[in-house]
Amino acid sequence: MEGSHQLPTSKPLPVLPAVEAAKRLAAFAAVDRHVGLKHKIIGIGSGSTVPYVVDRIVAQGAQANLGRVFVPTGFQSKELIIKAGLVLGDVDQYPKLDVTIDGADEVDDQLNSIKGGGACQLREKVLAEAAETWVIVADYRKNSKLLGTNWTQGIPIEVAPFAYAKVLTNLADMGSPATLPSGKPGLTLRMGKMKAGPVVSDNGMFIIDAPFPPELMAKPEELLHKIKMLTGVVEVGLFCNMARAAYFGNEASRHTHTHSLSHEPAVDKTNADADTDAVQDGTVSIRNNDGSVEQLQSVPDVPVVA
């Protein structure tokens, strides 16, 4: 692609706090690998990493985005698409997507994830299933071996408002505790922080946060099916066997640069049992659905679109 269609190299990326720089790094790497010129229908997910996904897509240039349509998972991503000057679509118009890039609240070592901290899990799952390729972007804090390790608030469950009390009872019977071992609240109806009453999703539903003990979280697909079968449940924030890859930006130390114009290739760790503990060295950790793990040492400031 001609340089006139890219952001100029003379315009440096703004310096960000360490965690934000990690999010940007992961988002840029994911877009570079999974959003090419052939991809025309693109799902844009939710969360704090997703604005950097949109930034990178815009940086691909006007010519690359000509003829593309962007489908949001919720209000946040819709606003990002509109403000970026990209073409907005909806999943009822485009039931098949080329690629969707989304955030996550936590991802385990099998690429199962918890989503719904922002109460968008229904549309997020629809767009994930509609996409030929679904990719997760996050920072190192979301990277864990077992779901529920870092994200302790519980599985977000979207429920019909009139059924929430019954579903709370059902979930308690399944083993979701009212109080966590730490003493913090466990199973609960999510309440608004700046509003009197419960959180209401974009679909007019309530959200229940349901933590479960490690022995149940170790089998997320089985747990997903049991919760989904409860009458009154609209969607469950467990995403199992769906992701093509997960990109984790690793926070750099004071002596590590988080961006470089270098085009060094990723180093592939082909051992499926490679250590997936979060590192904090300014690289991008990539976990693929074939079990391979990579470390990407750098991301160019200017995207190369193919």
Q: Which residues are catalytic?
A: 124
CA nearest 263: which of 295, 300, 294? 300
- The DSSP bridge partners found for residue 43 are 71, 100
Tokens 């059902």 belong to residue: 170
Q: Residues near 194 by Cβ (< 8 Å), separated by ≥ 6? A: none
Crossing angle of helices 50-59 and 18-34, rounded to 10°: 50
Distance CA 40, CA 109 (A): 30
Q: How many CB atoms lie within 10 A of CB 157?
A: 30
> In a 3-state reduction of DSSP, which class is residue 250?
coil
Pairing of strands 131-139, 97-102: parallel
- The DSSP bridge partners found for residue 287 are 246, 293
Backbone angles phi, psi at 292, to 5 degrees: -75, 150
Crossing angle of helices 164-174 and 220-228, rounded to 10°: 140
Check if the beta carbon of residue 175 is closer than 8 Å to that of residue 212: yes
Torsion of CA 140, 146, 147, 151, to 10 degrees: -50
